[in-house]
């Protein structure tokens, strides 16, 4: 949780007010049916499956563009730094944090599978710093050990498994239950990555609850576009409450861009911007 933002953006947007989320949808011609990309989720009426290999790969690249300013998500196994967001170290393919517990759970799972690994000796220190931004007992030696471990298939597998267990699988499962398309399921995944699982106001569960007060999910008989607008608006409220997350471009110029194009399936080519940088998946 808690991801890398461009330093120039932090602070500059911290005091920004929460603007209303305005999304325009392409007009439908009465003379001819709209192409699939411009149809509403209600007219398509298809629940997606973001776990399909090709779609999951797209989801990993989309998250990586926001988390690491790169589409090469597999290059992030070795990534580790303190981004100054109060959560200690942020590392790996999903931004496991030393201060939020998910890094501790990852290293514990890795050690259970591979007892003699470079990170095992840091488990006591990770337990002590959990819930804080402290580097006590960690530091540069821990950073080097992380990079050493990240070169192994075993630690890469451990990262993949924890990503799926804590973030991806729950997001996709809830998205399917709510009758959402691939875009909707990705919106859930991206939100749970940044805000974490849970039911409090600032977690994924809290954001979803706030959206449900404004719109019905497709599974409840609602229109997906209307529901996703409500979900995006609720998420932006939470993002604007924390300076480190106050740049909302991963919603505004990524997910909203796909929604405005009617691209509920996340079919390629995909073009979007995050923090002002442009990306394309062909």
Catalytic residue among 67, 162, 224, 254: 67
Catalytic residue among 82, 85, 102, 190: 85
Task: Examine the residue annotation and report whether 85 is marked as an active-site residue of this protein.
Answer: yes
Burial of 136 (0-12, 13-18, 19+ CB in 10 A): exposed
Sequence-distant (6+) residues with CB within 8 A of 84 are 10, 244
Q: For residue 14, how many other CB atoms are within 10 A of its CB?
A: 15
Residue 111 corresponds to which tokens in the numbers above?
């050690």
Radius of gyration of the chain (CA): 19
Query: Which strands sit side by side in the sheet containing 80-82, from one edge to the other?
Result: 80-82, 89-91, 96-97
Residue 265 corresponds to which tokens in the numbers above?
């399936």
Task: Examine the residue annotation and report whether 102 is marked as an active-site residue of this protein.
Answer: no
Report the catalytic residues. 67, 85
């Amino acid at each position: 949780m808690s991801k890398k933002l461009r330093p120039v953006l932090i602070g500059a947007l911290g005091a920004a007010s929460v603007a209303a989320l305005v999304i325009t949808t392409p007009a439908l011609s009465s003379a001819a049916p709209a192409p699939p990309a411009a149809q509403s989720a209600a007219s398509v009426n298809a629940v997606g499956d973001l776990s399909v290999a090709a779609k999951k790969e797209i989801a990993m690249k989309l998250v990586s563009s926001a988390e690491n300013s790169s589409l090469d998500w597999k290059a992030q196994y070795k990534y580790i730094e303190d981004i100054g967001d109060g959560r200690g170290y942020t590392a790996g393919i999903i931004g496991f944090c030393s201060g939020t517990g998910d890094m501790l759970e990852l290293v514990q799972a890795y050690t259970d599978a591979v007892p003699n690994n470079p990170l095992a000796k840091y488990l006591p220190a990770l337990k002590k710093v959990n819930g804080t931004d402290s580097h006590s007992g960690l530091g540069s030696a821990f950073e080097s050990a992380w990079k050493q471990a990240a070169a192994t298939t075993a630690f890469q597998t451990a990262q993949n498994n924890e990503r799926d267990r804590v973030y991806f699988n729950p997001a996709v499962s809830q998205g399917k239950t709510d009758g959402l398309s691939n875009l909707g399921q990705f919106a859930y995944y991206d939100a749970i990555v940044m805000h974490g699982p849970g039911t409090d106001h600032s977690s994924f569960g809290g954001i979803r609850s706030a959206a449900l007060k404004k719109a019905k999910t497709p599974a409840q008989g609602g229109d997906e576009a209307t529901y996703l607008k409500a979900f995006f608006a609720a998420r932006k409220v939470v993002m604007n409450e924390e300076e480190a997350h106050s740049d909302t471009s991963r919603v505004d110029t990524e997910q909203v861009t796909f929604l405005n194009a009617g691209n509920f399936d996340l079919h390629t080519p995909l073009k979007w911007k995050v923090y002002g940088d442009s990306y394309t998946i062909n």
